[in-house]
């Protein structure tokens, strides 16, 4: 068996098992960890298919930001495991609909392959290891972004910066009743004004 096909099936099996563990586990923290594993396996599949840009975007955005945010939120909320009685009759319609959609997508892929063969076109797999000398997708997208669309890229960065500053300004609430130190007033004090003698009378 070819190495690419073996890795493809390996990543696909791990992604399928991890996705089942996400919806099957009762612990929310373990579910988020398996969700991160699903994203990593899908990134491996995209890398084998030659989509390097989407691979690293999936790892940076979903694994590095969204999934880690979910993990921290779940750990901070300290969600307790509660046993809930869910009737299987309420899950059958959703499960059946999802199964029919996935099955139709599966058979439609075979129909497209038969249509391509009917048109006289040949399908062949290209090994990603042999494509090292060619220009990768990330390099092509980087050249396009920083040459032809550099102005739009900078404008998007400025819009995100303004949005971030606006959120920080809107969430900051300065309290008026908070006592603050006055450094100049404290340094300008003199010794006679600082110490005060109080005479106390004894009770007879």
Residue 189: per-residue pLDDT:
74
Sign of CA dihedral 171, 174, 177, 182: positive
Tokens representing 6 are 């073996």
Could you state, in order of their start, the residue ranges of all structural domains in the chain? 1-80, 137-173
Report DSSP letters for 118-137, one per residue. Answer: HTT-------GGGGSSSPPH
Q: Cα separation of 166 and 158, whole Å?
A: 12
pLDDT tier for residue 30 given thresholds of 50, 70 and 90:
confident
- Fill in the DSSP letter of residue 176: S
Tokens representing 97 are 């609909």
pLDDT at 103 over 60: yes
Tokens representing 8 are 């493809």
Which residues have CB under 8 Å from 39's CB, separation 6+?
A: 58, 59, 62, 63, 67
pLDDT tens digits for 152-192?
889 988 998 998 888 788 777 666 677 777 788 777 777 66
User: The whole model's pTM is what?
Assistant: 0.55
Tokens representing 34 are 């398996």
Arithmetic mean of pLDDT over the chain: 77
> What's the alpha-carbon Rg for the chain, to the nearest Å?
31
Fold of 1-80: 1.20.120
């Amino acid at each position: 068996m070819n190495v690419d096909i073996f890795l493809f099936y390996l990543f696909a099996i791990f992604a399928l098992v991890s996705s089942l563990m996400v919806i099957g586990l009762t612990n929310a923290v373990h579910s988020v960890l398996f969700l991160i594993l699903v994203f990593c396996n899908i990134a491996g599949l995209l890398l084998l298919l030659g989509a390097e840009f989407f691979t690293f975007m999936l790892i940076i955005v979903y694994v590095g930001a969204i999934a880690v945010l979910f993990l921290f939120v779940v750990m901070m909320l300290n969600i307790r495991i509660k046993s809930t009685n869910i009737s299987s009759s309420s899950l059958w319609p959703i499960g059946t609909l999802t199964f029919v959609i996935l099955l139709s997508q599966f058979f439609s892929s075979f129909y497209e392959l038969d249509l391509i063969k009917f048109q006289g076109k040949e399908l062949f797999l290209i090994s990603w290891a042999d494509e090292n000398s060619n220009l990768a997708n990330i390099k092509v997208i980087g050249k396009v972004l920083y040459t032809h669309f550099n102005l739009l890229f900078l404008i998007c960065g400025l819009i995100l910066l303004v949005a971030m500053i606006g959120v920080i300004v809107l969430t900051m609430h300065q309290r008026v009743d908070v006592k603050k130190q006055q450094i100049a007033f404290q340094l300008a004090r003199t010794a006679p004004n600082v110490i005060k003698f109080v005479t106390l009378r004894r009770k007879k």
